Amino acid sequence: MSETTHPSETLTDPFRHFSQWFAEAQRTEPGDVNAMTVATATQAGIPSARIVLLKGWDSHGFVFYTNKGSRKGDELAANPHAALLFHWKSLSRQIRIEGAVHDVTDAEADAYFASRARISRLGAWASIQSRPLASRELLTQRLAEFDARYPDETVPRPPYWSGYRVVPSRLEFWQDMPFRLHDRIIYTRAGDGWSIGRIYP
């Protein structure tokens, strides 16, 4: 374990802590280092979870993009709170993030959508995400229809496709330790700053 991530060290800024751990995971994790579980719930509290990719973060929160008509989009419209979970097996670490969810700006969504591969942009039009699909052939057919509609690189962002920013109120940095005596550092939002502490493993 490196000096900057020794469990005895607690950083005062959770975003700096996240950046350090993320950078280490980029060097060691064989898969998508930005893969994270996103858990949402209905207004009645029925949960669901899936893995998506983190597409940006800063001191304002953690951003991912999706079809807003998807199941997670419907649940976030009714209950705008989410939990995120990163698990980096190569480092025996987890980061848990909980907070309110806000829409990204249209400018942010447009910029990220334009950066995607053309086939992915067409797929955003072709897929009626989370809705019943009669056959795989129907998806292929819809993709071909939008390929014909937008034959060059100019594929506009669908009005129902955008991003969410999870603004954290609580973050937990979990480090595996011998004999299950794990190290768990908790940041809890307190006004404009953070309350920092540890909890039992």
Q: Give me the phi and psi of 31, to 5 degrees please.
A: -100, -150
Query: Residues for the chain: how many in total?
Result: 201
| Nearest-5° Cα angle at 120, 119 to 126 | 85
Catalytic residue, candidates 131, 136, 180, 189? 180
How far is 38 from 71, CA to CA, in rounded Å?
A: 12
Active site residue 170: no
| Nearest-5° Cα angle at 43, 39 to 49 | 15
Answer yes or no: are the C-beta atoms of 40 and 48 closer than 8 Å: yes
How far is 143 from 47, CA to CA, in rounded Å?
A: 31
- Dig out the tokens for 175 from the structure: 């480090």
| Residue bearing tokens 């670490």 | 93
Minimal CA–CA distance to 106: which of 71, 156, 58? 156
* Active site amino acids: 180
